[in-house]
Amino acid sequence: MKRSRDRAASELFAALYPRLAGWCRRLVDDDETAHEIASEAFTRLWARWNRVEEPRGFLYVTAANLVRDHWRKLERERRAMRRATTEAAVNAHTEQADPSVRLLVQSLPERLRTPILLHYYADMPIREVSVLTGRKEGTVKADLHAARELLRVHLRRSLDHTL
């Protein structure tokens, strides 16, 4: 029993780790942090192995939460640095004008950000996003539409400020 459990876990790791780590890499823009997040997601899965029905979904939702925590930590560090320097006004203006899609996705409310991360960055179909988030497919579609509209407005505003 333990041997088959270990084999299943090993096969799952071999099948999913590279893609999960790559997905995290695109979100955090750092190899080491991406591997730490992917490894932590697997560690949390192993701790709950017998209670998790959808390991792939569990891994991606856990990694998305860890990415969000990483972004929050970076934002706290950025705010501390801005307060510590006399160039706070220049830095704030530069950050506002940055049209980076990653920063824009990061700025979305969590209700909209999670479906965007799962659907567009993890290539999950709407049905799977619906199951993982506990929302109806129609709600997921509406959230994706609302998120795209917000991103479009923010991107247009950011580009207007840079011209």
Residue 78 CB neighbour total at 10 angstroms? 13
Over residues 71-99, the pLDDT tens digits come to: 988 888 777 666 655 444 444 444 444 45
> What is the spatial distance between Cα 133 and Cα 46, in angstroms, rounded to a whole number?
21
What's CA 113's distance to the chain center, in Å? 8
Over residues 125-151, the pLDDT tens digits come to: 899 889 888 899 999 999 999 988 988
Answer whether 67's CB lies under 8 Å from 23's CB: no
* Token pair in block for residue 72: 């929050």
Answer whether 61's CB lies under 8 Å from 115's CB: no
